[in-house]
Structure 1
Amino acid sequence: MSRLGIKICGLSTTDTLHAALKHGASHVGLMHFPKSPRHLELEALHGLATQIPAHVGRVVVMVDPDDTLVSAITAPGVVSALQLHGKESPQRVAEIAARTGLEIWKVISVKRADDIASAAAYTGAAHRILFDAKTPEGSALPGGMGVRFDWGLLAGYHGALPWALSGGLDAANVAAAIAQTGVPLVDVSSGVESAPGIKDVDKIAAFCKAVNAS
């Protein structure tokens, strides 16, 4: 069985980045969305990205970015993937993929079974689907709130694209999520924080240990 992928998302400091790398993260997520407590300005984002070794995915999370922002994020050449967490259509996702030549992750916000089914529309546009919990109505944030959905909706899931799971994961429940869904890659943000936007190196270590023991 191949090793499960681990993405630690919303990192903002060198110490927490190094903790993620030390404990075996396959991907690191950096956030550029001003409403988020994990937001990084471009200079800080690019500075952290340059510290990530080439074998680790360098994923920048954005919400409905325009072409100017996409260009600003990707111009230095230190990003390996873009995670689109807004209402981007399959056509828009395909445009960004063509414009950047990067791997594109499309987030699908899930509450019901038909949300899972909607991922099929992104076949041929995105490179990976990330199933995340739908945040409460009226929320300013599209994710990173520790909300989870019914993982049973993904039991036996076989989509056309590689996929990942996010939403309410932490060291205590990630093994159960993996067992229930068979997911190949798990993504955590608030589940390894001591406060919103503040990553905890011990929680990062515990999460990675729990995944690797699954």
Structure 2
Amino acid sequence: MPVTAKICGLSAPDTLAAAVAGGASHIGFVFFPPSPRHVTFDQAAALATLVPDHVERVGVFVDPEDALLDQAIRAARLDAIQLHRASPERAAAIGARTRLPVWAAVAVKARADLAAAHAFRGAAQRILYDAKTPDDARLPGGMGLRFDWTLLQGFDHPLPWALSGGLDAANVAEAAAISGARTVDVSSGVESAPGVKDAAKIAAFLHTVAML
């Protein structure tokens, strides 16, 4: 089974094109103003027209209100919703209301943190294991932090899942081998500066993933 990749936090046509050309299975648009990767509805709408049908458009949200979700879904023609800092109950409600698949982020630092994934059984369609950020951090992800991938070894995953947190072209092969991930998600690891994607880094990351 090949490893697939999501390039998250895209905000410019050239780097989106690099993601598509490199074989990304998913691209992520961030709808969270504190993030340097935030896109407006107009930006997302323009970028969405450049995404071919075989690549899924994922909207990334932090505990969003319904109005934000509705506008983002329409603008970006989203295929899935990724939720950070949302309870299983809220995730289930969003999935039922939007009728879109939900990716639920689970923040990981210690083995015990993985248990939160089980609460999303029946509430989400995919778990995204991401590195836990400091308590005072404004952002729930995209900070280049990674967690100990061995924590995922032998874990009874309740749902299909993806690995995120501190990945880049230099470590993604090791991360997939250690964790068993078949879907990987990268953001800061393919940037030249916070929020500034780098087409060459995207190409290198996706080339490495294609060899797995």
Which category of TM-score, normalised to the shorter sequence, fits these structures?
over 0.9
- Kept in 1, the 8 Å contact 2:117–2:158? The answer is no
Q: What per-residue deviation string (whole Å, max 9, x for no partner) do you get for residues 121-167 of structure 1?
A: 00001000000000122011110000000101011334121100000
Corresponding residue SS for 1:75 = helix
Residue identity over aligned pairs, in percent, reads: 56
Q: Which residue of 1 aligns with 2:64?
A: 65
| 2:34 maps to 1:31 | no
* 1:195-210 → structure 2 map (5 Å cutoff): 195-210=193-208
1:157–1:181 CA contact under 8 A, matched in 2: no
The question of 1:173 aligning with 2:185 is answered: no
Report the Cα distance in structure 2 between the residues aligned to 1:155 and 1:210, rounded to whole angstroms.
22
Q: Is the 8 A contact 2:35 2:139 kept in 1?
A: yes
* Paired residues for 1:11-160 under 5 Å: 11-76=10-75, 78-86=77-85, 88-160=86-158
Question: CA contact under 8 A between 2:104 and 2:124: conserved in structure 1?
Answer: yes
Q: Distance in 2 between matches of 1:202 and 1:181?
A: 26
**8 Å Cα contact 2:7/2:186 also seen in 1:** yes
C-alpha deviation, 1:75, in angstroms: 2.9
Residue 77 to residue 15, structure 1, CA distance change in 2 (3 Å): closer
In structure 2, what is the Cα distance between the partners aligned to 1:184 and 1:85? Answer: 21
Q: Does 200-209 or 41-50 show the bigger shift?
A: 41-50
| 1:5-16 alignment runs, 5 A limit | 5-16=4-15
> Is the contact between residue 156 and residue 181 of structure 1 (CA under 8 Å) also seen in structure 2?
no
Specify every segment of 5 or more residues in structure 2 that has no aligned partner in the other structure, as ranges: none
Deviation of 1:106 (Å): 0.5
Please tell me whether the aligned partners of residues 6 and 27 of structure 2 are also in contact (alpha carbons under 8 angstroms).
yes
| Equivalent residue letter for 2:100 | L
Number of residue pairs matched?
212
Q: Aligned pair in 2 of structure 1 residues 68, 117: CA closer, same or farther (>3 Å)?
A: same
Aligned match of 1:187? 185
Q: Distance in 2 between matches of 1:67 and 1:31?
A: 16
Structure 2 CA distance for aligned equivalents of residues 143 and 77 of structure 1: 21
Residues 41 and 76 in structure 2, CA contact (< 8 A), matched pair in contact too: no
Q: What is the letter of the counterpart of residue 197 of structure 2?
A: K
Alignment-derived partner of residue 164 in structure 1: 162
Compute the displacement of 1:45 (Å): 1.0
- C-alpha separation in 2, matches of 1:152 and 1:16: 32
TM-align CA RMSD: 1.0
Q: TM-score, normalised by structure 1?
A: 0.96
Take 2:156 and 2:111, find their aligned partners in 1: how far apart are those partners?
A: 14
The answer as to whether partners of 2:26 and 2:56 remain within 8 angstroms in 1 is yes
**Which one is further off, 124-133 or 73-82?**
73-82
